[in-house]
Amino acid sequence: MPVGVLALQGSFNEHIAALRRIGVKGVEIRKAEQLDNVSSLIIPGGESTTMAKLAELHNLFPALREFVKMGKPVWGTCAGLIFLANKATGQKEGGQELVGGLDCTVHRNFFGSQIQSFEAEVPVPDLAAKEGGPPSFRAVFIRAPAILEVGPDVEVLASISIRSTDIVDPSQEAQPDTKVIVAVKQGNLLATAFHPELTIDSRWHSYFVKMSDSNNEIVASSSSSSSYEDQESFLYNKQSKTDLPVYE
């Protein structure tokens, strides 16, 4: 069965393209009944309040919560992370509805507004161990959230070191070189505060597909069995540069 990508708003096309690069079919999901035809789901980055309003308009929240409760793999990127969190802070007045299931607290727009977006090399030891490639991932943070707290069953996959001056929310009292969590896994749920779909490094997508493979729910094409070096090294050297600031 294919991987579903919630296609209400945001970077759903980029996720489908990334899945295609590793030989996996992705399909757009806009209606609750379409979830019956996919084995797993990606909730993409975008504007979380707008996505929540559209999901509510289409009565998607009950079906999304049931999908999570059934144990099917779900991956949230950026706004998708906010959707999956049990608790979100820093929201607009009135807040927004959440899918929940991920035992964590996130801060919406922790790193600031659109003009404070950036790229950073994020250490990813677990990802590198499972998928190969370099020990860090070039992560794109756009109006990014951060994970403030996690429950005992949540595995931290990546953190980023920040300075106190990088924190937009004055209520967060961080000292220099404070580490903020930006990627986690809990059972069938995966979440990243950044946008892997906006890079040519497909390791996070491969990692997620293998979460589904462990349930024998996805059969990828033969191209997905090739190594990280075979798939990515040439493209990685040829990728276009963005004008986002870089945190070294």
Report CA-CA distances (Å) from 48 to 83, 144, 171. 8, 11, 22
- Residues 14, 119, 131, 197: which is the catalytic one? 197
- Residues 15, 195, 205, 232: which is the catalytic one? 195
Q: Is 93 a catalytic residue?
A: no
Which helix (H) or strand (E) covers residue 67, if one does?
helix 61-69
- Residues 15, 78, 104, 107: which is the catalytic one? 78
Q: CA 190 to CA 198: how far, in whole Å?
A: 17
Q: At what angle do helices 228-238 and 203-213 cross, to 10 degrees?
A: 150
- Residue 172 dihedral angles phi and psi, to the nearest 5°: -90, 110
Q: Is 78 a catalytic residue?
A: yes
Q: Are 45 and 114 in contact (CB under 8 A)?
A: no
Q: Is 15 a catalytic residue?
A: no
Residues in contact with 102: Cβ distance below 8 Å, sequence separation at least 6, in sequence order: 76, 81, 84, 85, 86, 154, 184, 186, 189, 191
| Active-site annotation, residues | 78, 195, 197
